[in-house]
Amino acid sequence: MSLNSVLKSTTIADKILLALLILVSLSGIVFVKELLPEAKRVMIEVNGHPVYILPKDKDRTVSVEGPEGVTVIEIKDQRVRVTESPCHNKLCIRQGWIESGAIVCIPNRVVVTISNHEDESNKIVDAITG
Amino acid sequence: MQLQDKYRIALLSAYALALHGFESLFPTPVPWLRLGLANIITLTALVLYGIRVAITVTLIRVILSSLFTGTFLGPAFILSLGGGVTSTLAMGIVLSITPRLFSIIGLSLIGALFHNIAQLILAYLLFIQRIEAILLISPIIIFLGSVTGTVNGIVSDLLIKNLKKGDKKIQNVNK
Amino acid sequence: MIKITENRKPKIEINKFHYIIHSVHYLLFLTAYCLLVFFLYSCTSHKEKIYRKSKIVMDTFVSITAVSDSKAEAEKAIDAAFYEIERLEKLTNFFSENSELNQINRNAGISEVKISTDILNILDKALFVSKNTDAEFDVTIGPVSALYDFYKNIKPEEIEIKEKLPLVNYKDLIINKKKSTAFLRKKGMLIDLGGIAKGYAADKAEETLEKNGIRSGLVSIAGDIKAFGLKPDKRPWQIGIRNPRAEGKEDDVMTIVELSDMAISTSGDYQRFFIFNGKRYHHLLSPKTGYPAGRCQGVSVIAKEGVSADAFATGVFILGHEKGMKVLEKMGFEGLIVDNQGKVYTTQGIRGKVEFKQRS
Inform me whether the pLDDT recorded for C360 exceeds 50.
no
SS (H, E, C) chain C: CCCCCCCCCCHHHHHHHHHHHHHHHHHHHHHHHHHHHHHHHHHHHCCCEEEEEEEEECCEEEEEEEEECCHHHHHHHHHHHHHHHHHHHHHHCCCCCCCHHHHHHHCCCCCCEECCHHHHHHHHHHHHHHHHCCCCCCHHHHHHHCCCECCCCECCCHHHHHHHHHHCCHHHEEEECCCCEEEECCCCCCCCCCCCHHHHHHHHHHHHHHHCCCCCEEEEECCEEEEECCCCCCCCEEEEEECCCCCCCCCCEEEEEEECCEEEEEEECCCCEEEECCEEEECCECCCCCCECCCEEEEEEEECCHHHHHHHHHHHHHHCHHHHHHHHHHHCCEEEEEECCCCEEECHHHHCCCCCCCCC
- Highest mean pLDDT out of A22-36, B40-54, B124-138, C276-290: C276-290
Q: How far is A60 from chain B (nearest CA, A)?
A: 22
Query: How far apart are the C-alpha atoms of C203 and C139, rounded to whole Å?
Result: 19
Hey, where are the domains in chain C? Answer: 48-93+194-218, 95-192, 236-360
C25 and B CB contact within 8 Å: no
**Which pLDDT does position C358 carry in this prediction?**
44
Q: Structurally, how many domains does chain B consist of?
A: 1
- Quote the percentage of chain C above a pLDDT of 70: 87
Q: Do C300 and A130 touch (CB under 8 A)?
A: yes
- Highest mean pLDDT out of B152-166, C17-31, C101-115: C101-115
**Which pLDDT does position A110 carry in this prediction?**
84
* pTM for the model: 0.62
Q: Which residue has the higher pLDDT, C252 or B79?
A: B79
Select the residue of C1, C3, C4 nearest B3 (Cβ to Cβ): C4
Q: Which residue has the higher pLDDT, A126 or C21?
A: A126
**Which pLDDT does position C34 carry in this prediction?**
72
- Highest mean pLDDT out of A109-123, B76-90, C31-45: B76-90
Question: Residue B132's domain spans which residues?
Answer: 2-174
Contacts of C4 in chain B (CB under 8 A): 3-4, 7
Average pLDDT estimate for C308-322: 96
Q: Is A107 helix (H, G, I), strand (E, B) or coil?
A: coil
Contacts of A10 in chain B (CB under 8 A): 103, 105-106
Complex prediction ipTM: 0.77
pLDDT tens digits along A36-94: 666 777 888 877 677 777 778 878 888 888 888 888 888 888 889 999 888 877 878 88
Select the residue of C1, C4, C18 nearest B167 (Cβ to Cβ): C1
Q: How far is C6 from chain B (nearest CA, A)?
A: 9
Superfamily in which the C95-192 domain is placed by CATH: ApbE-like superfamily (1.10.3980.10)
**Which pLDDT does position C43 carry in this prediction?**
57
Q: Do A124 and C238 touch (CB under 8 A)?
A: yes
- Quote the percentage of chain C above a pLDDT of 90: 67
Q: Do A22 and B129 touch (CB under 8 A)?
A: no
Average pLDDT estimate for A92-109: 81
B26 and A CB contact within 8 Å: no
**Which pLDDT does position B160 carry in this prediction?**
85
A116 and C CB contact within 8 Å: no
- Residue pair C49/C67 in contact (Cβ under 8 Å)? The answer is yes
Inform me whether the pLDDT recorded for B103 exceeds 80.
yes
C1 and B CB contact within 8 Å: yes
- CATH code, domain with B48: 1.10.1760.20
Inform me whether the pLDDT recorded for C304 exceeds 90.
yes
Query: How far apart are the C-alpha atoms of B108 and B111, rounded to whole Å?
Result: 5
pLDDT tens digits along C131-147: 999 999 999 999 999 99
Q: Is B116 helix (H, G, I), strand (E, B) or coil?
A: helix
Give the pairing type, strands C273-276 and C279-282. Answer: antiparallel
Q: Do B166 and C18 touch (CB under 8 A)?
A: no
Contacts of B73 in chain A (CB under 8 A): none
* Fold category of C236-360 in CATH: T-fold (3.10.520)
Q: Do C4 and B7 touch (CB under 8 A)?
A: yes
Burial of residue C134, with CB atoms counted within 10 A of its CB: 0-12 exposed, 13-18 middle, 19 or more buried: middle
Average pLDDT estimate for C95-102: 93
**Which pLDDT does position C250 carry in this prediction?**
60
**Which pLDDT does position C41 carry in this prediction?**
60
B48 and A CB contact within 8 Å: no
Conformational region of residue C175, where left means phi above 0, alpha means psi within -120 to 50, and beta covers everything else:
beta
Scanning B69-127, the segments in alpha helix (DSSP H) are 75-97, 104-122
- Quote the percentage of chain A above a pLDDT of 90: 5
Inform me whether the pLDDT recorded for B130 exceeds 80.
no
Query: How far apart are the C-alpha atoms of A112 and A53, rounded to whole Å?
Result: 10
Inform me whether the pLDDT recorded for A1 exceeds 80.
no
